């Protein structure tokens, strides 16, 4: 797990410096080491988006939502990707799910 997290940090450095191919490679290696590491799937999605590969970004974002179904930001990310791809009904559905997750989270925090 620590190796996977280190790869994610390295991947983020590449991502932040517009080296999307290197970022993708790091995130892929992190996922190989720890397939359930949500932050690696999130990074992979962002790196693919940076590269302009919306299909791969969406696939990674779907996996992220599968791993973190109650995370509003994961649904928001997928919604934005769908919108960028012109998949408006899917984008609206993910936006609604993000809002539901946020409302549930606020209700838990308030109780």
Tens digits of per-residue pLDDT, 26-44? 999 999 999 999 999 999 9
Average pLDDT over residues 63-88: 96
Tokens 């809002």 map to which residue?
A: 99
pLDDT over threshold 70, residue 3: yes
pLDDT over threshold 90, residue 10: yes
pLDDT at 90: 95
pLDDT over threshold 80, residue 59: yes
Angstrom distance (rounded) from CA 37 to CA 8: 10
pLDDT over threshold 80, residue 2: no
3-state DSSP call for residue 78? helix
**55, burial (CB in 10 Å: exposed 0-12, middle 13-18, buried 19+):** exposed
- For the chain, give every domain's residue range: 2-110
Average pLDDT over residues 13-21: 97
Angstrom distance (rounded) from CA 71 to CA 51: 25
Reported CATH class of domain 2-110: mainly alpha
């Amino acid at each position: 797990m620590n190796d996977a997290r280190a790869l994610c940090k390295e991947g983020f450095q590449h991502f932040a410096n517009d080296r999307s191919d290197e970022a993708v490679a790091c995130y892929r290696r992190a996922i190989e080491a720890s397939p359930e590491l949500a932050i690696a799937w999130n990074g992979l999605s962002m790196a693919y988006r940076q590269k302009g590969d919306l299909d791969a970004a969406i696939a990674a974002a779907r996996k992220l939502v599968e791993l973190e179904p109650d995370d509003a930001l994961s649904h928001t990310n997928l919604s934005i990707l769908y919108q960028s791809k012109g998949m408006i009904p899917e984008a609206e559905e993910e936006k609604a799910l993000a809002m539901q997750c946020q409302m549930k989270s606020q209700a838990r925090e308030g109780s």
